[in-house]
Amino acid sequence: MKVAIILGPQRIKIVDVKTPKITSNDVLIKIKATGICGSDLHFYSGMNGRLQNFLLGIKRVLSPSKIIRGHEFSGFVVEKGKNVDDIDLNDKVTALPISPCQECNYCKIGFTHLCESPNPWPGAFAEFIKLSSNDIVNVPEEISYEEAAMLEPLACAVHAVKISEVKKEDSVIILGAGTIGLLTLQILKSLNVEKIAITDILDFKLQMAKQLGADIAIKAFDVNYYKNRDLIKNTNLIFECVGSFAPTLHQAINLIDKHGRIIVLGSFSTPQKIDILKIRQKEVTIVGSEASNKEDFMDSIKLLSDKKVKLEPLITHKFPLKDISKAFKTALECEQTKSIKVEIIP
């Protein structure tokens, strides 16, 4: 089968490898769609931080053929092991992006998404993928393969909204109108949250946010202007959905009102220095939101089936596997290409 290998910063190549052989508890899936995540772009760009890049450099030397990325995917089952009873051939599926060990303390108390020793995950920028049947999520037929490949980021947003304990009367700001920010927006709208503002540095993303129901969509650099003029006054809940090298966590701490909550979804490339004194004086709660679990996937499927969330408008570009280099550049240069979610269709 053909797979995409990341060789180094902005270097990706299609190579042929053997199609994996399944064992008694596995399934083999023909991949139909795989989304490019922000974390994939960080890896592709070499923006993972010094320590991460050092470790990845060692991994590339020791095992260059193993660096296959991609965890937002969908496909159908073409082969299953003899012990797999709850999954049938041709079932439309996706899977958890973390394969939990089921033995560590976090797995035992139900936090499988925080597993200390997850099993290796093969990567979905490929024609086929072999996974444990325990990690498979069945997808209803009415959901397209392209939409199903977005269930993973949707589940991450669902997980964050659950953690936030949002109330209908909350005044919310979402920092970042990328995929996660726009999904978080739609989930909050489905819960009838009364006031939702969203920020970004790109106009086309703010326009999409308005189309999807944002009450206020403003440039990130203009937030203080609007804050001082009461349009986003009394903000008691903020979702940070940017990460990378952006100063958004600092911005969230400045924007949040006393006794407010900040939910961090963004993956930062470097450690953040924050104003602890301001956090103490405001009695601010900062909560991290990491990945998702199977329940979040099931809730995401229900949101989609009930038409509470729209995924298709976010899928702006599609490329065949052979053009994955162009796909990554399209996602990376979103300001010029106006891309939001770029998918690979093998």
What average pLDDT score do residues 11-31 get? 96
Q: Does the reported pTM lie above 0.75? A: yes
Is the pLDDT score of 336 beyond 90?
yes
Is the pLDDT score of 62 beyond 70?
no
Per cent of the chain over pLDDT 90 is 85
Residue whose tokens read 């010094």 = 50
- Per-residue pLDDT tens over the stretch 225-240: 888 777 788 899 999 9
So what's the pLDDT on residue 48? 53
154-288: same fold as 2-150+311-344? no
- Per-residue pLDDT tens over the stretch 171-221: 999 999 999 999 999 999 999 999 999 999 999 999 999 999 999 999 999
Q: What whole-number distance in Å separates Cα of residue 81 and Cα of residue 91?
A: 14
What average pLDDT score do residues 326-339 get? 97
pLDDT band at 57 (very low <50, low <70, confident <90, very high): low
| CATH label, 2-150+311-344, candidates 2.60.40.420, 3.40.50.2300, 3.30.70.141, 3.90.180.10 | 3.90.180.10
Q: What whole-number distance in Å separates Cα of residue 168 and Cα of residue 157?
A: 17
So what's the pLDDT on residue 66? 53
pLDDT band at 269 (very low <50, low <70, confident <90, very high): confident
Mean pLDDT, the chain, integer: 93
Question: Which has the higher per-residue pLDDT, 224 or 215?
Answer: 215
Q: What whole-number distance in Å separates Cα of residue 244 and Cα of residue 241?
A: 10
- Per-residue pLDDT tens over the stretch 131-156: 999 999 999 999 999 999 999 999 99
- Residue 76, both tokens: 């159908």
Is the pLDDT score of 59 beyond 90?
no
So what's the pLDDT on residue 178? 98
Q: Find out whether 26 and 132 touch, Cβ atoms under 8 Å.
A: yes
Q: Find out whether 201 and 221 touch, Cβ atoms under 8 Å.
A: yes
- Residue 170, both tokens: 């909350």
Q: φ and ψ at 84, to 5 degrees?
A: -90, 110
Q: Find out whether 92 and 76 touch, Cβ atoms under 8 Å.
A: yes
Per cent of the chain over pLDDT 70 is 94
Angle between helices 179-190 and 203-211 (to 10 degrees): 20
Helix (H, G, I), strand (E, B) or coil at 25: coil
Is the pLDDT score of 112 beyond 90?
yes
**Homologous superfamily of domain range 154-288:** NAD(P)-binding Rossmann-like Domain (3.40.50.720)
Contacting residues for 277 by C-beta, under 8 A, at least 6 apart: none
Give alpha helix (H) positions in 98-178: 105-108, 145-148, 151-164
What average pLDDT score do residues 332-336 get? 96
What average pLDDT score do residues 102-113 get? 96
What average pLDDT score do residues 284-289 get? 98
Is the pLDDT score of 129 beyond 70?
yes
Q: What whole-number distance in Å separates Cα of residue 286 and Cα of residue 253?
A: 9
- Residue 283, both tokens: 């009695």
Half-sphere exposure of 286 (CA within 13 A, CB side): 19
pLDDT band at 47 (very low <50, low <70, confident <90, very high): low
Instruction: Provide the strand spans (E) within the chain.
Output: 2-8, 11-16, 26-35, 72-80, 92-95, 128-132, 136-138, 171-175, 195-200, 216-219, 237-240, 261-264, 285-288, 315-319, 341-344
Half-sphere exposure of 5 (CA within 13 A, CB side): 15
Contacting residues for 172 by C-beta, under 8 A, at least 6 apart: 166, 188, 193, 195, 196, 197, 235, 237, 238, 239
Q: Find out whether 93 and 29 touch, Cβ atoms under 8 Å.
A: yes
pLDDT band at 51 (very low <50, low <70, confident <90, very high): very low
Is the pLDDT score of 254 beyond 80?
yes
Angle between helices 179-190 and 151-164 (to 10 degrees): 60
| Strand 237-240 relative to strand 171-175, pairing | parallel
Angle between helices 294-305 and 151-164 (to 10 degrees): 100
Query: What is the residue extent of each domain of the chain?
Result: 2-150+311-344, 154-288
Using alpha carbons, list the distances in angstroms from residue 335 to 77, 178, 179, 240, 331: 37, 12, 14, 20, 9
pLDDT band at 46 (very low <50, low <70, confident <90, very high): confident
